[in-house]
Structures are given as structure tokens and as C-alpha cells.
Amino acid sequence: MTAQVVPSHTQLIGQLSQAGLAVSSQRVALLGSLIASESEHPTADSLYQVLQAQFPTLSRATVYNNLAALVAAGLIERIDTHEGSRFGPVPVPHVNLICESCGSIEDALVNSELLTTVRERAAAEIEGFRPLNLAATLSGTCRACQG
């Protein structure tokens, strides 16, 4: 699990503009709450509910569109599970441990160097492909569900 320092408002704006994205206050809040969620991997709906308290006029479509833009820019990851998509921050290449019993998703730093190498080799060897983030998925049973 990666304990992350939640970046300041200014740092979030920097991340967005560096990725070539337009900066809106909703986008900043969305990225901020995803980074703060750490290993929780919330759904789009739960992010919508959190942000709606702050932006009462916010629509679900805006949240979905902003999430898609952040994923495309490589600032966050989308993990598709049988119960729908979940989102998380992507600091470094990592493994998503998905529990088949309770659906929890935990980030694990299992051999990040190997995953980084795979991403770099993809950039070097696959012509015309611009890799962003690499996260592997490992399904299994979490510790709590084995109890």
C-alpha cells in the first residue's frame, strides 16, 4: 500500500496543466479527492457523491467526463471489475490486488522496477504507441476474507 502525501491545490493545478488539461475547480477537486482516497479505489458514483457536497450544481456526466480525461492523461487509473469501474491515483507502476470475495482493491508495490521496465520497453519497441501508466491486476482472496 502506498501512503501518499496529498498535494496542495497549486500542485494539483500544476499536474493538470502539465498533462495538457484545462484546469477547472471541479477537476482539481476530483483529482485531489482521488489522491486522498489512496488505496480505496472509489467508483465514479461515490466520487460524484463526495464532490456534490462541494459543488451542488455538479452533474454526474461532468464527473464521468473528467474521470475519462484524467485517465487519458495518465494522471489516474481505471480498473474494470465485474461490478463496474473503480478509480485510483497512479504514483508508480504497481499491482492491483483484487479480492474475488469482497471486491476490495489494494495497491501493492510488487517489483515496480519490473513493471517500469515493461512500460519503458513498450515505449521503445512498440511503434506509434505512447504508454502512460502500467498497473497489473492480480485477483485472489484478501486477508480479511480468509479469516
Single out the residue of 8, 18, 101, 139 in contact with Zn ion (rule: CB under 5 A): 101
> Taking the CB of residue 87, how many other CB atoms lie within 10 A of it?
22
CA gyration radius, the chain? 16
Q: Which three cell numbers stand for residue 83?
A: 461490478
Question: Under DSSP, is residue 91 helix (H, G, I), strand (E, B) or coil?
Answer: coil
Q: Which stretch binds Zn ion (CB under 5 A): 25-33, 50-58, 64-72, 80-88?
A: 80-88
Question: What DSSP designation does 5 have?
Answer: P
User: Which residue lies nearer to Zn ion by CB, 37 or 96?
Assistant: 96
99 binds Zn ion (CB under 5 A): yes
Contacts of residue 30, Cβ cutoff 8 Å, sequence gap at least 6: 47, 51, 63, 66, 67, 70
Nearest to 74 by CA among 19, 33, 29: 19
Single out the residue of 6, 68, 72, 102 in contact with Zn ion (rule: CB under 5 A): 102
Q: Which stretch binds Zn ion (CB under 5 A): 16-24, 51-59, 107-115, 121-129?
A: 107-115
106 binds Zn ion (CB under 5 A): no
Binding mask 40-79 for Zn ion (x = CB under 5 A): ----------------------------------------
107 binds Zn ion (CB under 5 A): yes
Question: Under DSSP, is residue 42 helix (H, G, I), strand (E, B) or coil?
Answer: coil
142 binds Zn ion (CB under 5 A): yes
* Inter-residue contact 61 to 51 (CB < 8 Å): no
Smallest distance, Zn ion to C-beta of residue 86, A: 9
Q: Which three cell numbers stand for residue 8?
A: 496542495
Smallest distance, Zn ion to C-beta of residue 139, A: 11
